[in-house]
Amino acid sequence: MKPAALLLCLLTLPGAAPSRAPDWVLRDRDYRRFLGDLQNAVRRGDREAVIRLADLPLRVNGPGRHRAEERSAAAIRRHYGRIFIPAVRRAILAQRFETLFGSSKGLMIGDGAVWFDHTCPSRRCTPAGPVRMFAVNLPDRGPAPERSRSRSVPR
């Protein structure tokens, strides 16, 4: 097989090469700044800086159909360890700006661990507001362990 054909085959394999972010994402300096600020805050372990980058309410989608809305910075602070679990933090740190996925729903970090976009300060969304994360999707951890049917305390 010719080298060019081999390269084409390798690039079309799932997960073989990250896709390029859309041009409208690459042109928006606010997106780049947001991702850099979020990564720096996570890298430093600066919870307050991460919280400042969240839009309220922050939607948190857990395994199964579990869904919560953190309506205040205090609520995010209280549940920070359950929201920004190691898998979410790793996804944030591994994301490259040039490979962000963007759609009409917003921009996605990793395989959907975090979604962010410009906020809408008015009905018309003009001018666009600051970039903030609006959703965190926790990975499915598999089925919950079954409870033991035996009684631990004799009756």
User: What is the Cα–Cα distance from 56 to 71, expressed in whole angstroms?
Assistant: 6
Domain-located, residue 91: yes
Chain position carrying tokens 């606010």:
30
User: What is the Cα–Cα distance from 46 to 37, expressed in whole angstroms?
Assistant: 11
Domain-located, residue 71: yes
The sign of the torsion formed by the CA atoms of 90, 98, 135, 55 equals positive
User: What is the Cα–Cα distance from 141 to 25, expressed in whole angstroms?
Assistant: 31
CA angle 138/141/146 to nearest 5° reads 135
Domain-located, residue 28: yes
Are 103 and 92 in contact by the 8 Å Cβ rule? The answer is: no
Domain-located, residue 15: no
pLDDT 10s per residue in the chain (155 long)? 444 443 334 444 444 445 889 999 999 999 999 999 999 999 999 999 999 999 999 999 998 888 999 999 999 999 999 999 999 999 999 999 999 999 989 999 999 999 999 999 888 888 899 999 999 999 875 444 333 333 232 32
SS3 label, residue 94: helix
Domain-located, residue 113: yes
Q: What pLDDT does 149 receive?
A: 35
Domain-located, residue 111: yes
Q: What is the pTM of this model?
A: 0.78
Q: What pLDDT does 81 receive?
A: 97
Orientation angle between helical segments 29-44 and 86-94, nearest 10 degrees: 130
Q: How many domains does the chain have?
A: 1
Domain-located, residue 149: no
H helix intervals, 12-111: 23-26, 29-44, 47-52, 73-83, 86-94
Domain-located, residue 85: yes
Strand partners, 137: 61
Q: What pLDDT does 11 receive?
A: 41
Q: What pLDDT does 4 receive?
A: 44
Structural domain boundaries enclosing 81: 20-137
Q: What pLDDT does 125 receive?
A: 86
Are 55 and 133 in contact by the 8 Å Cβ rule? The answer is: yes
Tokens of 14: 């799932």
Which among 16, 11, 35 is positioned nearest to 113, based on CA atoms? 35
Q: What pLDDT does 8 receive?
A: 38
